[in-house]
C-alpha cells in the first residue's frame, strides 16, 4: 500500500523547503530524513526527553510530538540555525563550550534550542529560573550543574557583559 | 515508535471538521497532540483518520468576564497560563497549569484537549470539576454544553460522541470570600502526579462555609469531594479538622498501587495533600478578604 503524500512547506532556519510526506511523518523525522538536518536528535520519541526540541514560530516544541503536515507553513529553528551568520558559535553554544555543558552531546541540540528561547523570554534568569528553564530536558551525562552554569553564562554573553574566555 | 498510517483531513471551517469526523467512525480529533501523538507513536491507538483542527478559525481565544474564563479549543496551555485577566478572574487556572508537564509541552498542548482527553492523572479535568465548569461541543446535531460532572466517564473516556468536537471550555470565576490552592506530588517535576489536589474554601465571617477538594491520580475519573462536614464546626483550621478532612476524602477514593507508588503511599499523599491544600486555600481566602 502506498500512503497518500501531503505537500508540506517549511521555512527552516530561514530557508524555504517543500516536501511531500505521509501524514504520519513526525516533524523530527521530516527534518532529519527529508531535509537532511540531522542536528535535531530523536531520543525517547514520546515527548519526555526533550532532545528533539525545535523552535516553531519562535516557541520551543517537541518535534517528535508534531506531524510535519500540521506544522506546514511554519518557521522552524533547529540547532543548525543557532550559529551566527559567519558560522561561529551562537551565544548559547559558546556558553556550553565555555562551561563544559555537554559530554556525549546527544541531548545538547534540545537544550540549546530550549535555552535560546528561554533567554529571549527571560534574559536575566535567577539560578532557580535557569533550572526551571531546562526542567523539561533530560541529560544522562552531566548531572546538569554545568548546563545550569551554561544558561547563566549564555545570559551574560547575550547581555554583552561576559568576559571573554 | 512510528504512528501507523492514517488518513488526514485539515478542514478550515468547523462544519467541515464535524462532517469529516462524522464520515469516519474511526476518526479522532488532533489539536495540540501532546497526549495523542505519544499514544499513536507507541501504537496504543491507531485511528483510521485524524481530523486536524489546528486551522479552524476563531478557536484560540482566552476571554474573561465577571462570570468566568472561556478558553477556545486551540488556546495552548501556555497562552492560558500567561493570561493575566484569566489569572485574576479564576486564579486556580494558573496555579494548576504551572503543574501541567513542562513549558515546551504547554506551548503546544491545548487546555480543551486536555479536558476531553479525560486523563484522571491530568490537572485541568480536576480543575473544571472542582469549579463546576463546562465544555461546549459541536456535532452534527448542533451545539450543546456538557457540565463537568457529566463529562468524565472513565479512564481516558469522555461523554463526547465520536462525531462531536469540543470547541470551548468555561471555568467559572472565583466567588467572593473564596480561596483556592493546588498541590501535587510527582516523582520528577513536570511528570504525572502520584497524587494531586485542587482545593477551594469559602468563608462566612470566620467560619468555613464550604470546603471542597478535587483529586487526580487516585481514582479512575477526576473526583470532587465535599469536605465541609469535617471543617465547618471549627472556628479556625485545626490540625485535627484537616486530618478528619483527609480521612473523609480517603473514604471516597480508592488509590491504587503501581510501579510508581504503593496504594498505601498514595493514601498518605491524599492525607498530606488534603491538609496542605485546604490550609493554603483557607489562607488564600483570608488574604482575599483583607485585600478586596
- Report DSSP letters for B114-158, one per residue: HHHHT-TT-HHHHHHHHHT-EEEEEETTEEEEEEGGGTEEETTEE
User: pLDDT, tens digit, for every residue of B120-167?
Assistant: 999 999 999 999 999 999 999 999 999 999 999 999 999 999 999 999
pTM: 0.95
Looking at the complex, does the CB of residue A9 fall below 8 Å from at least one CB of chain B?
A: no
Domain at B247, CATH number: 3.30.390.50
User: Domain total for chain B?
Assistant: 3
In a domain, B139, yes or no: yes
Q: What is the DSSP letter of B227?
A: -
- Order of strands across the sheet with B142-147? B62-65, B68-72, B165-172, B134-139, B142-147
Task: List the domain boundaries for chain A.
Answer: 5-82, 91-159
Examine the domain organization and report whether B185 and B100 are in the same domain: no
- On the question of pLDDT at A60 being above 70, the answer is yes
Distance in Å, alpha carbon of B73 to nearest chain A alpha carbon: 16
Question: Which of B52, B101, B104 has the CB atom closest to A70's CB atom?
Answer: B52
Task: Identify the domain boundary among B172, B199, B229.
Answer: B172
* Residue B253, domain member (yes or no): yes
Percentage of chain B with pLDDT > 70? 99
Third-level CATH fold of A91-159: DNA polymerase; domain 1 (1.10.150)
Phi-psi sector, B123: left (phi>0), alpha (psi -120 to 50), beta: alpha
**pLDDT at residue B232 in the model:** 83
Where does the pLDDT of residue B10 fall: very low under 50, low under 70, confident under 90, or very high at 90 and above?
very high
Whether residue B130 lies inside any domain: the answer is yes
Measured between CA atoms, the residue of chain A closest to residue B46 is A24
pLDDT band at A161 (very low <50, low <70, confident <90, very high): low
Is there a single domain that holds both residue B246 and residue B197?
Answer: yes
Whether A46 and chain B come into contact, CB under 8 Å, resolves to yes
pLDDT at position B206, please?
85
**Claim to verify: residue B14 and residue B33 sit in the same structural domain:** yes
Q: What band does A164 get if pLDDT is binned at 50, 70 and 90? A: low
Q: Are residues B120 and B154 in the same domain?
A: yes
* Inter-chain touch A24–B4, beta carbons under 8 Å: yes
- Domain co-membership, B278 together with B186: yes
Q: Choosing among B5, B10, B37, B117, which should be mutated to test the A contact, i.e. which has the most A CBs within 10 A?
A: B37
CB-CB under 8 Å, A136 with B104: yes
Measured between alpha carbons, how far is B78 from B64 in angstroms, rounded to an integer?
16
Q: With a cut of 0.90, is the ipTM above it? A: yes
Does residue B191 sit in the same domain as residue B227? Answer: yes
Contact flag B37-A64 (C-beta cutoff 8 Å):
yes
Chain A residues with CB-CB distance to B47 below 8 A: none
Instruction: Please report, for the domain that includes residue B47, its CATH number.
Output: 3.30.43.10
Fold of A5-82: Ubiquitin-like (UB roll) (3.10.20)
* CATH number, residue B103: 3.30.465.10
Q: Give the residue from B289, B287, B280, B291 showing the smallest Cα distance to B92.
A: B280
Residues B13 and B80 placed together within one structural domain of the fold: no
**B191 and B285 belong to one structural domain:** yes
Residues B246 and B278 in one domain: yes
- Picking from A26, A61, A69, the nearest residue to B104 by CB comes out as A61
Amino acid at each position: 500500500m502506498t500512503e497518500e503524500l501531503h505537500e508540506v512547506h517549511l521555512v527552516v532556519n530561514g530557508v524555504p523547503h517543500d516536501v511531500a510526506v505521509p501524514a504520519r511523518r513526525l516533524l523530527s523525522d521530516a527534518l532529519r530524513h527529508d531535509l537532511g538536518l540531522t542536528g535535531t536528535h530523536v531520543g525517547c520519541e514520546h515527548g519526555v526527553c526533550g532532545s528533539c526540541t525545535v523552535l516553531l514560530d519562535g516557541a520551543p516544541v517537541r518535534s517528535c510530538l508534531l506531524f510535519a503536515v500540521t506544522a506546514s507553513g511554519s518557521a522552524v529553528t533547529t540547532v543548525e540555525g543557532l550559529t551566527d551568520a559567519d558560522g561561529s558559535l551562537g551565544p548559547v553554544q559558546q556558553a556550553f563550550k565555555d562551561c563544559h555543558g555537554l559530554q556525549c552531546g546527544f541531548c545538547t541540540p534540545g537544550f540549546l534550542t530550549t535555552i535560546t528561547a528561554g533567554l529571549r523570554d527571560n534574559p536575566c534568569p535567577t539560578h532557580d529560573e535557569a533550572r526551571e528553564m531546562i526542567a523539561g530536558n533530560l541529560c544522562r551525562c552531566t548531572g546538569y550543574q554545568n548546563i545550569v552554569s551554561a544558561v547563566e553564562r549564555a545570559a551574560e554573553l547575550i547581555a554583552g557583559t561576559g568576559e571573554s574566555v | 515508535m512510528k504512528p501507523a498510517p492514517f488518513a488526514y483531513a485539515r478542514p478550515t471551517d468547523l462544519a467541515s471538521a464535524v462532517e469529516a469526523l462524522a464520515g469516519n467512525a474511526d476518526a479522532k480529533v488532533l489539536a495540540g497532540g501532546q497526549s495523542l501523538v505519544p499514544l499513536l507513536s507507541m501504537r496504543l491507538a491507531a485511528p483510521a483518520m485524524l481530523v486536524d483542527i489546528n486551522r479552524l478559525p476563531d478557536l484560540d481565544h482566552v476571554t474573561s468576564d465577571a462570570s468566568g474564563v472561556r478558553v477556545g479549543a486551540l488556546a495552548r496551555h501556555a497562552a492560558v497560563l500567561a493570561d493575566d485577566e484569566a489569572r485574576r478572574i479564576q486564579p486556580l487556572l494558573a496555579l494548576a497549569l504551572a503543574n501541567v508537564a513542562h513549558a515546551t509541552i504547554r506551548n503546544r498542548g491545548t487546555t480543551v484537549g486536555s479536558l476531553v482527553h479525560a486523563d484522571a492523572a491530568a490537572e485541568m479535568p480536576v480543575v473544571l470539576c472542582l469549579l463546576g465548569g463546562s465544555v461546549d461541543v459541536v456535532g452534527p446535531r448542533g451545539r450543546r454544553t456538557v457540565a463537568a460532572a457529566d463529562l468524565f466517564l472513565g479512564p481516558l473516556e469522555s461523554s463526547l460522541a465520536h462525531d462531536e468536537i469540543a470547541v470551548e471550555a468555561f471555568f467559572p470565576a472565583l466567588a467572593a470570600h473564596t480561596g483556592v490552592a493546588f498541590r501535587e506530588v510527582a516523582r520528577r517535576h513536570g511528570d504525572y502526579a502520584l497524587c494531586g489536589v485542587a482545593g477551594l474554601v469559602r468563608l462566612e465571617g470566620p467560619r468555613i462555609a464550604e470546603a471542597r477538594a478535587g483529586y487526580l491520580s487516585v481514582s479512575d475519573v477526576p473526583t470532587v469531594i465535599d469536605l465541609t462536614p469535617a471543617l465547618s464546626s471549627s472556628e479556625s483550621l485545626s490540625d485535627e479538622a484537616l486530618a478528619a478532612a483527609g480521612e473523609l476524602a480517603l473514604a471516597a477514593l480508592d488509590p491504587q498501587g503501581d510501579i510508581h507508588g504503593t496504594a498505601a503511599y498514595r493514601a498518605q499523599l491524599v492525607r498530606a495533600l488534603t491538609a496542605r491544600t485546604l490550609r493554603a486555600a483557607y489562607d488564600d481566602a483570608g488574604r482575599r478578604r483583607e485585600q478586596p
